[in-house]
Amino acid sequence: MELKERERKILSILMRMQTYVTGEELSNEIGVSLKTIQRDIANINQYFKNLENKQLITSSRGNGYVFNNKYRTLIDSIISFTEKKDIPVEPTDRIKWIITEYCFASVKNEAITLNQLADALFISTSTLKKDMQGVKAILGDYGLDLVKDGNKGLKLAGSENQIRSLLIEYLFKKIPFESNQSFPFHENKGNLSILLEKSLLEYGIHMTDIGMDNFIFHIQVALSRIQTGNFIKKGDQYPVHTDSKEYVCAKEISRRLEDMFQLSIPEEEVLNIFLHLSAQKTIVQDEELHQTIASFRNTEECEVIDEVLEVIDKIYGFHFHKDDVLRVGLLIHLRSALLRIKLGYPIRNEFLEDIQTNYPFAMQLAFFLANKIKEHMDIQIDLHETGYLALHFCGAMERMGKKEGKLRACLVCASGGGTAILLKSKLENAYRNRLLVQGVYSIRQISEIDFDQIDIIISTVRLQGDFPVPVLVVTPIVHEIDMQKINDFIYKKNNCLIVQDMMSKQLFYMNKDFHTKEEIIQFMSQQLVDLGYINQACQQSILEREKLASTEIGNMVAVPHNIGDGVVYRPSVSFMLLDHPVHWHHGDVKLVMMIAMDVNNNQFYKDVFLELYNKVNFQYKVDEIVNRKQFDYIYNLFI
């Protein structure tokens, strides 16, 4: 007699909970009747009574069932519970987990059977086989496969470079690094970091903090593979300068690693370290900007970046081509990125999700650059590298924003504490591009305010006396009406319109049958002409804008808009909901938002774009908009 899959799952739940669980709760979790739960628990107890004469599960009327924790060691010796970690339930999570397990097995030179996976996941063999199709598809993207290792099970197979790329991706990107305690050399990470930092310092090689983290990850993976007899094969894809400081440093790092870990590191692995050092970004001081730009002149990277910055200037009016800090940052990063891609060395971007969420406009510019690189150089820039490129545009916009200026505010509350901090957080989150909080003060500290440095006081208490700047009073807990009051002041002060002012029911379209993006843009822009929002020259500029670069922003959304030519009589945002997605350029689109406005107001465009993007930055938000098919629903999103 053996435990069934369902019985194993019940036992796993009770072991994890370590407290009473009712039969109804188990019934809902497992998806079977209460009687079936009762029968399964009786079977579990009988199984272990026959095996070890122990009763594992105790029942109590009114409380439910509880696992007898003193038998946990006994269970661990009989059934694998994947180190008591939570068991993934969704297919996508199981696929990620399976790949990660094969990665761990690879660094230990081990194999895993399908039965071991099925038992650990508490799923049937048929369910596992479906998951394995997804596993093999992902491995195929890396040029890898799973092959039989005698009767030991399956193991990863492919080139050493490809296997290491997968290990970097799945052991350091896909799962939190804190969970990698069983990874070889993890316990030596501190000493390894000291060794590498000391070596780089001695040879005058500078790395960013992120570059250093990635370098350490690569060394950890290399050491684990070397330890099991798996080495990089020699290639001639990049010239080796044996007299360069990068090569000499790589030799010294290898010697020190051999001493520390009692390993023999072959020349091919020394070259691997050399290539990593060569592919790292360097830090350029301000006085070196012009010299660095000159060193890149007439290179392919320089030509692509200059072309992109010129197009961005034409589309948005951002004079990025005059920003030497941006140009040098992109040039150096791109040269390193292209070498990493050529050599198959992936980079880890732990800030990717934050960048995508908080800097969508910069991501759009980075995607534009990545697409141009693909077009000119036939090299695909992945999402992690694109996120780093976006950071360079973030910095450029910050520098530009400082020149344009923001509304400066100070916050006052009775204590100068919690309520003002809450208000400060809300304001910075809602108006990060238009408002700068100069300080937080209590009532007693008002005399310390430098009124020459602020444009407004926002206070949670009524203030006595006259002040040289306006005072806006809000409630201590900052209700929605307070945010609206602040919102109105900011946009009135800056002579800006808010998105709601740009919306109209006559610019809301659905149930239209279009098959191409050209048909959609032509229809929506013609409506703007016919209704007196823009002239024909402006309509033509919307069409020309789409030819310069796709206006897709992800999540099946496109945002066509006008550029320099033509007249906008009334700023507007039009919406079209498509029943059947239309292929745009990179993918399908089912929500189109067309912006028409004065392109000379760069900051206004960024504010409008960011406000629109924040309403469609997740697929479920887009689906809700399209499925509701209501203008009022979209309008209320911006209240």
Helix (H) or strand (E) holding 83: none
Residue range of the domain that includes 631: 500-637
- Domain CATH code at residue 564: 3.40.930.10
Cα 540 to Cα 537: distance, rounded to the nearest angstrom: 5
CA distance 520 to 516: 7
Task: Let me know whether 630 and 581 are in one domain.
Answer: yes
Question: How far apart, in whole angstroms, are the C-alpha atoms of residue 529 and residue 596?
Answer: 11
Q: What is the helix (H) or strand (E) element at residue 594, kind and residue range?
A: strand 588-596
Q: Which residues contact 199 (CB under 8 A, 6 or more apart)?
A: 249, 252, 253, 256
3-state DSSP assignment of residue 412: strand
| Same domain, residue pair 320 and 365 | yes
Do residues 362 and 385 share a domain?
yes
Q: List per-block mean pLDDT (blocks of 10 residues) for the chain, which spans 639 residues.
A: 75 78 86 88 87 84 88 60 55 89 88 85 80 93 91 93 85 50 64 91 82 84 89 67 88 95 91 82 56 75 91 76 86 83 71 73 85 90 88 79 68 64 74 78 82 86 84 78 77 65 94 93 97 95 85 88 87 95 90 89 71 83 93 89
- Determine the residue type at 496: C
- Of 142, 164, 179, the residue that ends a domain is 179
Question: Are 607 and 506 contained in the same domain?
Answer: yes
- 268 and 300 belong to one structural domain: no
**In a shared domain, residues 410 and 301:** no
The enclosing domain of 215 has a CATH number of 1.10.1790
Q: What is the pLDDT of residue 420?
A: 62
Residues 174 and 192 in one domain: no
Q: Cα–Cα distance between 366 and 346 in angstroms, integer? A: 18
121 & 105 share domain: yes
Single residue among 112, 144, 179 that ends a domain in this structure: 179
The DSSP bridge partners found for residue 561 are: 595
> Vertex 10, ends 9 and 13: CA angle to 5°?
85
Domain final residue, candidates 255, 278, 301: 278
* CATH code, domain with 140: 1.10.10.10
526 and 632 share one domain: yes
> Are 264 and 217 found together in one domain?
yes
Same domain, 528 and 581: yes
Do 598 and 508 belong together in one domain? yes
Q: Where are the alpha helices (DSSP H) in 142-188?
A: 160-172
Number of domains composing the chain: 6
pLDDT (tens digit per residue) in 60-88 = 988 999 988 877 666 655 554 433 445 67
The CATH code of the domain that includes 328 is: 1.10.1790.10
